[in-house]
Amino acid sequence: MIDFHSHILPHMDDGARNVKISLDMLADSYRQGVRTVVATPHCLILNEDDIDIFLKRREDSYHELMDAISQDSRDFPEIILGCEVQITKGVTHFEKMRRLCISDTNYILIEMPYKKWTEDCFHYLYELIIQGINPIMAHIERYMGRRKEFYNLYSLDLIYQVNADSFLSPFYKKFIPDLFTTGSVQLLGSDMHNTSKRPSRMEDAKNRIIKSYGIERYDQLMKNAELVLKNEKIEKIRYQKMSFFKKLKV
């Protein structure tokens, strides 16, 4: 299993507060069957220098974690470096933005604002695509309540990530059949922040996806993750609309 969204790097953001928590999060992920975790600490860039400052902090945090892993006898998944970039004014004008992509790929994880999406947000996304950077929209299901703005995204060639626990949440899971229908579920991530209130629920989500949608859709999500990490293009699949009665069973 590949986890495409996580806050496992120690003291980077509101995720792992220290390296011990990072290790526990990763060991728990491995126990659930996760073999690769993309580390995506929150990243707010307001000027060009912020990119260097962020990357230095991330490097230090990563080395601390890798040192701790080398001294721990438990099994851990492989860690790939990325970040979760807030889309802000001017984010597309910074020359070093490409360095915030996941590993050596042209894919970048983007978080949309929680308040109103202005037209500028769509413009920034378009600018990234023009520069050859492929935006992956983090936890897209969180925005389904604002459908009018959401549907503006469809004019852009975007990739969508859904959080594992949303497949289990009574509130969010009702949106997911529609997301599959519109081709808006390509990647799965835990968005884990700790081992208590926001742990990884990848194993439960995997089981729920297989039970509700079939193993083919789960396999497709994992295949997509492999393709993105190889910097290859993924195929966007629009699945058939689910009947009302089938939706009730999800």
Binding site for Fe ion (CB under 5 A): 84, 191
Nearest residue to 192 (alpha-carbon basis) of 1, 15, 13, 18: 15
Residue closer to Fe ion by CB (options 11, 247) is 11
Write down the least CB distance from residue 241 to Fe ion, Å.
30
Q: How far is the CB of 138 from Fe ion (least distance, A)?
A: 6
CB of 10 to Fe ion, least distance (A): 16
Q: 190 or 213, CB closer to Fe ion? A: 190
Which residue's CB is nearer to Fe ion, number 3 or number 84?
A: 84
Question: CB count, 10 Å around CB of 227?
Answer: 17
CA distance 156 to 143: 16
Residue 160 CB, nearest approach to Fe ion (Å):
14
Tokens of 182: 């519109």
Of 165 and 191, nearer to Fe ion (C-beta) is 191
Q: Measure CA of the first residue to CA of the last residue in the chain; give whole Å.
A: 22
Burial group, residue 95, by CB count within 10 angstroms (0-12, 13-18, 19+): exposed
In the complex, least distance from residue 163 CB atom to Fe ion, rounded to whole angstroms: 8
Contact (Cβ atoms closer than 8 angstroms) between residue 161 and residue 5: yes
Whole-angstrom distance, CA of residue 103 vs CA of residue 88: 22
CB of 41 to Fe ion, least distance (A): 8
28 vs 84 by CB, closer to Fe ion: 84
Q: How far is the CB of 15 from Fe ion (least distance, A)?
A: 8
Nearer to Fe ion by Cβ, of 4 and 213: the residue is 4
Q: Which is nearer to Fe ion, 9 or 51 (CB)?
A: 9
The residue nearest Fe ion at its CB is 191
Phi first, then psi, for residue 20 (nearest 5°) are -65, -45
